[in-house]
Amino acid sequence: MAEKNKLVLDTRELTDGFFEDTRLLGIMAPIKGYQFCWHLNNSIGLDFRINDIEIKVIKKKRDYFFSVYEYRVPTGSLEHFIYDNQFDGEYLLPEFKHFDFLWLMKGDEVNDDTLQETIQTIRSINSVQLVAELSIEQIKNKENLVF
């Protein structure tokens, strides 16, 4: 019997590169993504916009689409991405299903003081119940955040 050759794309290097110099927050806030971003834009003075890119995950022979909101700091290379972690009962990162949103900061260093200020500001939003920094090493499905 002839053995079929299967080519598998190894995305580890790409994924590892994507997560260099990143900080990640998990946020529990039972509101819609656009509402959460509106609160952030008004309380922090950022300008999050919905990204044209949606993350598509196929589970159980079905497509799930997760929105991504983006803000690029105009005076540097820091980028902020907020991912909806839930769509129609499925999760972008199932290991963090208690979080509604994931906030990824990348492209420039975010020091601990700045991160703590951001966390405190997020906590001041009425609908936010929990904010926690997540370790990239805790993520089992890293490739779901790469676009």
Helical packing angle, 33-44 and 112-123, nearest 10°: 120
Note the pTM of the prediction, 2 decimals. 0.85
What gap in Å lies between CA 136 and CA 106, rounded to an integer?
A: 12
Alpha carbons 6 and 10: distance in angstroms, whole number: 12
Q: Helices marked H in 72-147 — which ranges? A: 112-123
Residue pLDDT, tens place only, 31-46: 999 999 999 999 888 8
**Model confidence over 119-132: pLDDT tens digits?**
999 999 999 999 99
Domain extent listing, the chain:
19-140
**Residue matched to tokens 């009425």:** 126
pLDDT of residue 76: 85
pLDDT in tens, 54-113: 889 888 889 999 999 999 999 889 999 999 999 999 999 999 999 999 999 998 889 999
